[in-house]
A and B are shown apart, each in its own frame.
Chain A
C-alpha cells in the first residue's frame, strides 16, 4: 500500500466541524439522538466564543419590562432592514428559553439582589420599538462568552460527546446537493481522516483575520465557508463586515460595549462627547456601524488625539466615571487588558480606542433550521448545515447588534443540532461505499511533502491581503478602490497557488496549516470585495462614499456570491420583510 492510500475512516451519523458555542450546542442536542463526532482545529476550550465579553440578549424582563417582539424589532432595525424578519422573531423568542437552559446547565450569570439573572444595557437594544435603551443583556462579568463556552463544553464532557481535537477540516464530501462527510487532517500526526456521516454541520466561526487589526483569534480564518465556497456554494451578504468601535488602539483587542452600557462615553481630543452629534437619542449606545463611522469621521476631521488623522490617531473611551468598584465587579477582564497591554487603569485614565474588525454578518446561507440553502428559491442541500458566525440565517442583516452573536449561536446552534439529528436518524443511509474515499486520497496526496518553491512567501501575501482589505474594503468604501481590491485579490490568489511549505514534518506542521488558512482567507476576502463592489448603496456596515444613501427599491435584497472559475458571480435573493416595513434608520 502506498502512502497516499492510507486514509483513516470513521462512520458517524452526524459530524460537526467547530467546537465554539454553536458547534457545542449542536453537539449536545445531536448526540442525544445519533452518533455524533465533533472536529475542532483547536481544543474546544480555545474556541473564540470564549472571547465574547458583554452579554447575551434575551427579553427576560428581570429588571424592567421587555418583550421578545421589541428585541426582534431592534435586531431588524439594527441590521438596517436586511434581516429576515421571521428568523429575527425566532431569535428573540427562543433567546429567552436558551438563556434559561444555559442557567439550568450551570452558567454563572451575574444576579440581581433578589437572585434573578441580572441584565444591562447594550447598543441598539431598546424598549417599545426605539423609545429608550433597555436592560436586556444577560451577563457573567465581562466574560459571558467564556462562561457559555465552558458551560457547553462541561455538558459535552458530562454527556461523553466524541471529540476529535486539533483536527482541521480540509473538504466536504458533496455529491450534487447531498453532503455525506468531511475530510480532515489530524494536526498531531499529519494523518488524513475521512468522517462519513449522514449530516455535516459547519460551525467554524468568523474570519476577521482578513484584516490587519482585528479582535478575532488567529484561528478565525473562515475554514467552513471557504471549503463550501470552493465547492460552488454561494456565500450570502459577504460585503457586511462589522467593525467594533472600541478595540484597544494598535492591538485591536476588544473592549466590550458593556463599558458604554454601564455608563462609559467616547470622547475626542477636545473632551467632547461626540456621539451627541451622530446619535442624539441613543448616544454612545447607537449600533456599532454608526459609532465606528463616527470615530473615523472625528479622526478624519482632525479631532482625534493626534489631530493629524494619521494611522495611529485615536479617540478615547472614558470609563473613569464608573469608579473602581463597578469596573472590578462588572468589567474585570477589560480592566486587566488595559493594565496588561497599555499600562493604564481605566478607573483613572480614558482608554485609547479605534474600530477593530470584529464580526462577519455574512456567510453560509441557511434557513431557520440551519440547513444550507443556496438557491434563490431557498431549496436546501441534503445533510448540510451551518450555524454560528460562519452562517447567515440572516438575523444580523447589514449590521449585528451587540449580544446577538451569542444569541445566534445558542438559538441556531441548538436548532441545527436538533434538525441534523432528526435528518440523520430518519435518513436511509443511501450513500455509496466509495463515497469520499477518492477525495480523501487526493488530500492525502496533497499533504505529502513537496519541494519548497522560491518566490513569494505566505507572510508577504498575508500582509498585502490585510493591507488592502483594511484600506479598500474597510469602514468606508468606494467603487474604484473596491475594483482595485478585487484585482489585487485575484493576483494574491494566483501567487498563493505557488506557495510550498519549507517544513516537511508530519507532526504539527503548522506552516501547512497556515498556508491553508491563508488560502481560505483569500477566497473569503475575494468574495467580500466582489460583493461590496456589486452593492451600489450604503446600508448598515457597508458604507459606499460614492453611493451614500440606502436604496430600498434596488437593494433590499441579499447578495449571493459564488466562486466561478477565476471570477465571482453575483445573484440576489429577496429579504423577508413580512412583519415591519423598512423605515429610515435613525437613533
Chain B
C-alpha cells in the first residue's frame, strides 16, 4: 500500500526551526514503521536521522511520537497506524527532551535521572562463597514487571507532570528502576535511594495520570510501581523512629 509519512525534521546546522516534511513510500500492512523509515533513509533522503538497533522491541533505541503517541517504531506495524487511502502518519521526536537532529533527542537528562535512582543491587554482603543468594520464585516474581524496562524514554516523554508541573521530576523510568531493586528480596538500598526519591523532585510529583503506563511498549504497570515506591518510602519513614 501507499504509505504517507509526515516527519518533523530539525537540522541543527541549517538555519530555521523544525519543519514537517512529507514522504511517500510503498509499505506492506505487516511491515514495521521502522522498515518504512529505513526505506526512506536509504532510497529517498539519506539526511533523515533516527536511532535504531535491534529492530524488534528489545533495545529501546527507536522510541518516537507516531500519530502523537509514544511508540517504538520497530514494534509498530504499518497497519496499526495507517490505512489504505487514509490520512498521513505523523512522526516526531520524543517530548520532554531536547531534539538534537530530526528524530534524535538528547538522552543524557534522562539517563542522569536513571543514575540518580542508584539502579544497581545494594546488598548487605557480597553473597555466599561459591553459591547464589537464595530467592524463592515468589520473591523473584515480586519485581519481574520492572525488569522488563528497556529505558526507551517513552514514559518520560509522555509524562504530563514533567511537561506541565515540574520539569525536574525524576520521572517514571527512574522510579521503575528504583522499584526493580526496592522490591528485590536481596536488596537493602532504600535508605541510600531516599535522597533521590524522597525529594520534591523525586517520587512525590507523580499525580497518577497514567500516561506512562499507557505508552509503555513493554506493558509495564509503571504508575502502579510508582505508587508502590511511594508506599515503601512512607512505610520506611514511619518505621524509622523505632530504630530501623
Same complex for A and B? Answer yes
Q: Is the CB of B136 within 8 A of A113?
A: yes
Instruction: Look across to chain B and name the residue whose beta carbon is closest to the beta carbon of A107.
Output: B121
Tell yes or no: B11 within 8 A of A by CB. Answer: yes
Tell yes or no: B205 within 8 A of A by CB. Answer: no
| Contact A502:B127 (CB < 8 A) given known A108-B184, A154-B121 | no
Query: With the chains together, A190 CA to B111 CA distance in Å?
Result: 22
Q: Is the CB of A48 within 8 A of B53?
A: yes
Q: Shortest CB–CB separation between residue A496 and chain B, in angstroms?
A: 15
Tell yes or no: A264 within 8 A of B by CB. Answer: no
Q: Shortest CB–CB separation between residue A396 and chain B, in angstroms?
A: 22
Query: With the chains together, A43 CA to B63 CA distance in Å?
Result: 14
Which of chain A's residues have a CB closer than 8 A to the CB of B85? none
| Contact A340:B57 (CB < 8 A) given known A100-B132, A106-B120, A150-B147 | yes
Query: With the chains together, A333 CA to B49 CA distance in Å?
Result: 29
Q: Is the CB of A507 within 8 A of B101?
A: yes
Scan B182-195; emit 1 where CB is below 8 A from any A CB, else 0: 00101100000000
Which of chain B's residues have a CB closer than 8 A to the CB of A253? 55-56
Which of chain A's residues have a CB closer than 8 A to the CB of B101? 505, 507-508
Which of chain A's residues have a CB closer than 8 A to the CB of B54? 46, 48, 50-51, 217-218
Q: Is the CB of A508 within 8 A of B100?
A: yes
Q: Is the CB of B150 within 8 A of A43?
A: no
Q: Is the CB of B13 within 8 A of A505?
A: yes
Scan B89-120; emit 1 where CB is below 8 A from any A CB, else 0: 00000000000111010010001000100111
Q: Shortest CB–CB separation between residue A459 and chain B, in angstroms?
A: 4
Contact of A108 among B14, B46, B51, B140 (CB under 8 A): B140
Segment 339-363 of A: residues with Cβ below 8 Å from B: 340-341
Query: With the chains together, A105 CA to B186 CA distance in Å?
Result: 10
| Contact A337:B56 (CB < 8 A) given known A158-B120, A508-B100 | yes
Q: Is the CB of B56 within 8 A of A51?
A: yes
Which of chain A's residues have a CB closer than 8 A to the CB of B43? 459
Which of chain A's residues have a CB closer than 8 A to the CB of B102? 508
Segment 45-104 of B: residues with Cβ below 8 Å from A: 46-47, 49, 51-61, 75, 77, 100-102, 104
Query: With the chains together, A341 CA to B147 CA distance in Å?
Result: 23
| Contact A510:B49 (CB < 8 A) given known A108-B143, A158-B120 | yes
Query: With the chains together, A303 CA to B146 CA distance in Å?
Result: 43
Query: With the chains together, A154 CA to B184 CA distance in Å?
Result: 15
Which of chain A's residues have a CB closer than 8 A to the CB of B148? 143
Q: Shortest CB–CB separation between residue A67 and chain B, in angstroms?
A: 15
Q: Is the CB of A45 within 8 A of B120?
A: no
Query: With the chains together, A455 CA to B152 CA distance in Å?
Result: 38
Q: Is the CB of B184 within 8 A of A111?
A: no
Contact of B59 among A51, A141, A158, A251 (CB under 8 A): A51
Tell yes or no: B42 within 8 A of A by CB. Answer: yes
Q: Is the CB of A157 within 8 A of B53?
A: no
Q: Is the CB of A105 within 8 A of B58?
A: no
Tell yes or no: A115 within 8 A of B by CB. Answer: yes
Tell yes or no: A435 within 8 A of B by CB. Answer: no
Q: Shortest CB–CB separation between residue A151 and chain B, in angstroms?
A: 8
Which of chain B's residues have a CB closer than 8 A to the CB of A506? 13
| Contact A108:B61 (CB < 8 A) given known A46-B53, A103-B132, A507-B101 | no
Contact of B135 among A111, A147, A340 (CB under 8 A): A111
Which of chain B's residues have a CB closer than 8 A to the CB of A117? 132
Query: With the chains together, A104 CA to B121 CA distance in Å?
Result: 9
Scan B139-163; emit 1 where CB is below 8 A from any A CB, else 0: 1100110011011000000000000
Which of chain B's residues have a CB closer than 8 A to the CB of A507? 12-13, 100-101
Choose among B53, B75, B184, B186 the residue with the greatest number of A CB atoms under 10 Å from its CB. Answer: B53
Instruction: Look across to chain B and name the residue whose beta carbon is closest to the beta carbon of A190.
Output: B13
Tell yes or no: B134 within 8 A of A by CB. Answer: yes
Instruction: Look across to chain A and name the residue whose beta carbon is closest to the beta carbon of B138.
Output: A111
Tell yes or no: B240 within 8 A of A by CB. Answer: no
Query: With the chains together, A146 CA to B152 CA distance in Å?
Result: 13
Q: Is the CB of B46 within 8 A of A503?
A: yes
Query: With the chains together, A502 CA to B235 CA distance in Å?
Result: 59
Tell yes or no: A501 within 8 A of B by CB. Answer: yes
Query: With the chains together, A140 CA to B148 CA distance in Å?
Result: 11
Contact of B55 among A114, A218, A336, A508 (CB under 8 A): A218
Q: Shortest CB–CB separation between residue A115 and chain B, in angstroms?
A: 4
Q: Shortest CB–CB separation between residue B59 and chain A, in angstroms?
A: 4
7 chain-A/chain-B pairs, Cβ below 8 angstroms: A103-B127, A104-B127, A111-B139, A114-B134, A217-B55, A505-B13, A507-B13
Known interface pairs A100-B132, A511-B46; 20 further A-B residue pairs with C-beta atoms within 8 A, sorted by A's residue number = A46-B61, A48-B54, A50-B54, A51-B58, A103-B132, A104-B127, A106-B187, A111-B136, A143-B148, A146-B58, A146-B150, A157-B120, A158-B120, A251-B56, A337-B57, A503-B46, A505-B12, A510-B41, A510-B49, A511-B41
Chain A interface residues (CB < 8 Å from chain B): 42-43, 45-48, 50-51, 97, 100, 103-106, 108-117, 140-141, 143, 146-147, 150, 154-155, 157-158, 188, 217-219, 251, 253, 333, 336-337, 340-341, 457-459, 462, 501-503, 505-508, 510-511, 514
Chain B interface residues (CB < 8 Å from chain A): 11-14, 30, 32, 41-43, 46-47, 49, 51-61, 75, 77, 100-102, 104, 107, 111, 115, 118-121, 123, 126-127, 130-137, 139-140, 143-144, 147-148, 150-151, 181, 184, 186-187
Closest 4 pairs (CB-CB, A-B): A106-B121, A104-B127, A115-B134, A154-B120
